Homo-oligomer: A and B are copies of this chain.
Amino acid sequence: MVASETQRKILDEAERLFSERHYATVTLREITAAAGVNIASVNYHFGSKNILLREVFRRRALDLNRERLTLLDRAEREAAPEPPELEAVLFALAAPPIRWSQEAGGPRARFMRFLRLCRVDATEEIKTLISREIGHLQRFLVPLERILPGSSRADLCWSLHHSLGVIHEATAELDRLARLSDGACHTDDGEEIIDRVVRFCAAGFRAANHGQGACTNA
Protein backbone atom coordinates (compact mmCIF):
# COMPACT_ATOMS: atom_id res chain seq x y z
CA MET A 1 0.00 0.00 0.00
CA VAL A 2 2.73 2.42 0.99
CA ALA A 3 5.05 2.11 -1.93
CA SER A 4 7.05 5.30 -2.01
CA GLU A 5 8.80 7.49 0.51
CA THR A 6 6.53 10.34 -0.55
CA GLN A 7 3.44 8.37 0.36
CA ARG A 8 4.84 7.52 3.76
CA LYS A 9 5.76 11.12 4.51
CA ILE A 10 2.30 12.28 3.51
CA LEU A 11 0.67 9.63 5.71
CA ASP A 12 2.87 10.56 8.69
CA GLU A 13 2.19 14.26 8.49
CA ALA A 14 -1.50 13.76 7.79
CA GLU A 15 -1.75 11.51 10.85
CA ARG A 16 -0.01 14.13 12.96
CA LEU A 17 -2.23 16.96 11.76
CA PHE A 18 -5.44 14.91 11.90
CA SER A 19 -4.62 14.04 15.50
CA GLU A 20 -4.29 17.69 16.44
CA ARG A 21 -7.34 19.05 14.68
CA HIS A 22 -10.44 17.81 12.91
CA TYR A 23 -9.69 16.68 9.38
CA ALA A 24 -12.05 19.25 7.89
CA THR A 25 -9.83 22.01 9.25
CA VAL A 26 -6.59 20.46 8.00
CA THR A 27 -5.77 21.43 4.44
CA LEU A 28 -3.85 19.46 1.87
CA ARG A 29 -1.59 22.47 1.60
CA GLU A 30 -0.60 22.09 5.25
CA ILE A 31 -0.01 18.38 4.93
CA THR A 32 2.12 18.61 1.83
CA ALA A 33 4.07 21.57 3.16
CA ALA A 34 4.87 19.68 6.38
CA ALA A 35 5.84 16.58 4.41
CA GLY A 36 8.02 18.63 2.09
CA VAL A 37 6.29 17.37 -1.01
CA ASN A 38 4.35 19.00 -3.76
CA ILE A 39 0.72 19.83 -3.20
CA ALA A 40 -0.38 17.83 -6.20
CA SER A 41 1.14 14.64 -4.85
CA VAL A 42 -1.76 13.84 -2.54
CA ASN A 43 -4.12 13.59 -5.44
CA TYR A 44 -1.54 11.76 -7.49
CA HIS A 45 -0.79 9.13 -4.84
CA PHE A 46 -4.12 8.83 -3.05
CA GLY A 47 -6.75 10.24 -5.37
CA SER A 48 -8.45 12.54 -2.87
CA LYS A 49 -8.33 13.93 0.63
CA ASN A 50 -11.01 11.48 1.78
CA ILE A 51 -9.04 8.49 0.60
CA LEU A 52 -5.93 9.81 2.32
CA LEU A 53 -7.98 10.07 5.52
CA ARG A 54 -9.14 6.50 5.20
CA GLU A 55 -5.59 5.28 4.63
CA VAL A 56 -4.37 7.09 7.73
CA PHE A 57 -7.06 5.25 9.65
CA ARG A 58 -6.43 1.87 8.11
CA ARG A 59 -2.69 1.94 8.56
CA ARG A 60 -2.91 1.35 12.32
CA ALA A 61 -6.50 0.54 13.22
CA LEU A 62 -6.28 -3.15 12.50
CA ASP A 63 -3.05 -3.47 14.48
CA LEU A 64 -4.78 -2.30 17.63
CA ASN A 65 -7.49 -4.96 17.52
CA ARG A 66 -4.90 -7.55 16.54
CA GLU A 67 -2.85 -6.74 19.64
CA ARG A 68 -5.94 -7.15 21.79
CA LEU A 69 -6.76 -10.52 20.29
CA THR A 70 -3.18 -11.71 20.62
CA LEU A 71 -3.24 -10.96 24.35
CA LEU A 72 -6.63 -12.63 24.69
CA ASP A 73 -5.50 -15.74 22.87
CA ARG A 74 -2.43 -16.01 25.05
CA ALA A 75 -4.48 -15.61 28.25
CA GLU A 76 -6.85 -18.34 27.14
CA ARG A 77 -4.05 -20.66 26.09
CA GLU A 78 -2.16 -20.26 29.36
CA ALA A 79 -5.24 -20.94 31.46
CA ALA A 80 -6.64 -23.81 29.38
CA PRO A 81 -8.58 -25.93 29.96
CA GLU A 82 -9.87 -23.54 32.66
CA PRO A 83 -11.18 -20.18 31.48
CA PRO A 84 -8.74 -17.31 31.99
CA GLU A 85 -9.02 -14.91 34.90
CA LEU A 86 -11.47 -12.03 34.40
CA GLU A 87 -8.55 -9.68 35.01
CA ALA A 88 -6.56 -11.27 32.19
CA VAL A 89 -9.42 -10.75 29.73
CA LEU A 90 -9.81 -7.13 30.76
CA PHE A 91 -6.05 -6.68 30.51
CA ALA A 92 -6.17 -7.82 26.89
CA LEU A 93 -8.87 -5.26 26.21
CA ALA A 94 -7.26 -2.37 28.06
CA ALA A 95 -3.52 -2.71 27.65
CA PRO A 96 -3.04 -2.03 23.92
CA PRO A 97 -4.95 1.27 23.68
CA ILE A 98 -3.59 2.57 26.98
CA ARG A 99 0.00 1.65 26.09
CA TRP A 100 -0.33 3.28 22.68
CA SER A 101 -1.71 6.44 24.25
CA GLN A 102 1.18 6.57 26.67
CA GLU A 103 3.82 6.61 23.93
CA ALA A 104 4.10 10.36 24.36
CA GLY A 105 4.99 12.17 21.17
CA GLY A 106 4.99 8.94 19.20
CA PRO A 107 2.94 8.13 16.14
CA ARG A 108 0.73 5.60 17.88
CA ALA A 109 -0.20 8.07 20.63
CA ARG A 110 -1.11 10.51 17.89
CA PHE A 111 -3.16 7.85 16.19
CA MET A 112 -5.12 7.26 19.39
CA ARG A 113 -6.05 10.95 19.46
CA PHE A 114 -7.10 10.69 15.83
CA LEU A 115 -9.16 7.61 16.64
CA ARG A 116 -11.00 9.47 19.36
CA LEU A 117 -11.99 12.15 16.88
CA CYS A 118 -13.10 9.53 14.37
CA ARG A 119 -15.31 7.86 16.92
CA VAL A 120 -17.31 11.07 17.29
CA ASP A 121 -17.29 12.34 13.74
CA ALA A 122 -16.06 10.06 11.00
CA THR A 123 -16.61 10.00 7.27
CA GLU A 124 -18.85 7.27 5.90
CA GLU A 125 -15.84 5.32 4.75
CA ILE A 126 -14.31 5.32 8.21
CA LYS A 127 -17.63 4.55 9.88
CA THR A 128 -17.72 1.35 7.87
CA LEU A 129 -14.26 0.42 9.10
CA ILE A 130 -15.17 1.26 12.70
CA SER A 131 -18.33 -0.85 12.57
CA ARG A 132 -16.23 -3.92 11.97
CA GLU A 133 -14.86 -3.70 15.48
CA ILE A 134 -18.05 -5.39 16.68
CA GLY A 135 -16.52 -8.65 15.55
CA HIS A 136 -13.49 -8.45 17.77
CA LEU A 137 -15.60 -7.34 20.74
CA GLN A 138 -17.85 -10.36 20.32
CA ARG A 139 -14.73 -12.45 20.54
CA PHE A 140 -14.27 -11.13 24.10
CA LEU A 141 -17.73 -12.30 25.07
CA VAL A 142 -16.74 -15.94 24.66
CA PRO A 143 -14.37 -16.18 27.65
CA LEU A 144 -16.51 -13.73 29.63
CA GLU A 145 -19.48 -16.09 29.41
CA ARG A 146 -17.34 -18.91 30.75
CA ILE A 147 -15.92 -16.82 33.59
CA LEU A 148 -19.28 -15.44 34.70
CA PRO A 149 -21.71 -18.20 33.77
CA GLY A 150 -24.48 -16.74 35.90
CA SER A 151 -24.51 -13.44 34.04
CA SER A 152 -26.98 -12.84 31.26
CA ARG A 153 -25.71 -11.86 27.87
CA ALA A 154 -27.16 -8.39 28.43
CA ASP A 155 -25.25 -8.04 31.71
CA LEU A 156 -22.01 -9.01 30.01
CA CYS A 157 -22.54 -6.71 27.05
CA TRP A 158 -23.35 -3.79 29.32
CA SER A 159 -20.28 -4.44 31.44
CA LEU A 160 -18.15 -4.67 28.32
CA HIS A 161 -19.65 -1.38 27.15
CA HIS A 162 -18.91 0.26 30.51
CA SER A 163 -15.36 -1.09 30.40
CA LEU A 164 -14.78 0.41 26.98
CA GLY A 165 -15.89 3.72 28.45
CA VAL A 166 -13.35 3.41 31.24
CA ILE A 167 -10.63 2.52 28.75
CA HIS A 168 -11.48 5.37 26.41
CA GLU A 169 -11.44 7.84 29.28
CA ALA A 170 -8.07 6.45 30.39
CA THR A 171 -6.67 7.43 27.00
CA ALA A 172 -8.09 10.95 27.17
CA GLU A 173 -8.72 13.86 29.46
CA LEU A 174 -5.77 12.90 31.63
CA ASP A 175 -4.93 16.58 31.96
CA ARG A 176 -8.31 17.12 33.57
CA LEU A 177 -7.57 14.28 35.98
CA ALA A 178 -4.19 15.78 36.82
CA ARG A 179 -5.75 19.13 37.65
CA LEU A 180 -8.68 17.54 39.49
CA SER A 181 -6.30 15.62 41.72
CA ASP A 182 -3.79 18.45 42.05
CA GLY A 183 -1.11 16.20 40.65
CA ALA A 184 -1.84 13.32 43.04
CA CYS A 185 -2.64 10.96 40.17
CA HIS A 186 0.21 9.64 38.08
CA THR A 187 -1.12 10.04 34.59
CA ASP A 188 2.08 8.99 32.85
CA ASP A 189 2.54 5.47 34.21
CA GLY A 190 0.82 3.29 31.65
CA GLU A 191 1.09 0.03 33.57
CA GLU A 192 -0.37 1.58 36.71
CA ILE A 193 -3.24 2.99 34.67
CA ILE A 194 -3.92 -0.41 33.10
CA ASP A 195 -3.89 -1.95 36.56
CA ARG A 196 -6.38 0.59 37.90
CA VAL A 197 -8.63 0.21 34.87
CA VAL A 198 -8.61 -3.59 35.10
CA ARG A 199 -9.36 -3.55 38.82
CA PHE A 200 -12.19 -1.05 38.45
CA CYS A 201 -13.82 -2.91 35.57
CA ALA A 202 -13.40 -6.36 37.12
CA ALA A 203 -15.30 -5.20 40.19
CA GLY A 204 -17.99 -3.75 37.96
CA PHE A 205 -18.32 -6.98 35.99
CA ARG A 206 -18.73 -9.02 39.16
CA ALA A 207 -21.25 -6.61 40.63
CA ALA A 208 -23.31 -6.66 37.45
CA ASN A 209 -23.53 -10.44 37.65
CA HIS A 210 -27.28 -11.11 37.79
CA GLY A 211 -27.76 -7.75 39.38
CA GLN A 212 -26.92 -9.51 42.65
CA GLY A 213 -23.68 -7.70 43.29
CA ALA A 214 -22.18 -11.04 44.36
CA CYS A 215 -18.78 -10.51 45.85
CA THR A 216 -16.13 -12.78 44.46
CA ASN A 217 -13.08 -10.98 45.80
CA ALA A 218 -10.85 -13.42 47.62
By a beta-carbon cutoff of 8 Å, the part of chain A in contact with chain B is: 21-22, 24-25, 116-117, 119-121, 131, 133-134, 137-138, 141, 152-154, 157-162, 164-170, 172-173, 176-177, 179-182, 184-186, 196-197, 199-204, 206-208, 211, 213-215, 217-218
Contact = CB atoms under 8 A, between A and B. Distances in A.
Given A162-B200, A199-B211, 16 more contacts: A22-B24, A119-B173, A134-B179, A134-B180, A141-B180, A154-B186, A165-B170, A166-B169, A168-B168, A199-B213, A200-B208, A202-B207, A203-B208, A203-B213, A207-B217, A214-B217
Contacts of A180: 134, 137-138, 141, 157, 160-161
21 contacts: A22-B24, A24-B25, A120-B121, A134-B180, A138-B180, A153-B182, A157-B184, A158-B196, A158-B200, A161-B169, A162-B196, A164-B173, A165-B170, A166-B166, A166-B169, A168-B168, A199-B204, A200-B204, A201-B204, A202-B207, A215-B217
Copy tally for this chain in the complex stands at 2
Contacts of A203: 203-204, 206-208, 213
B196 A200 contact: no
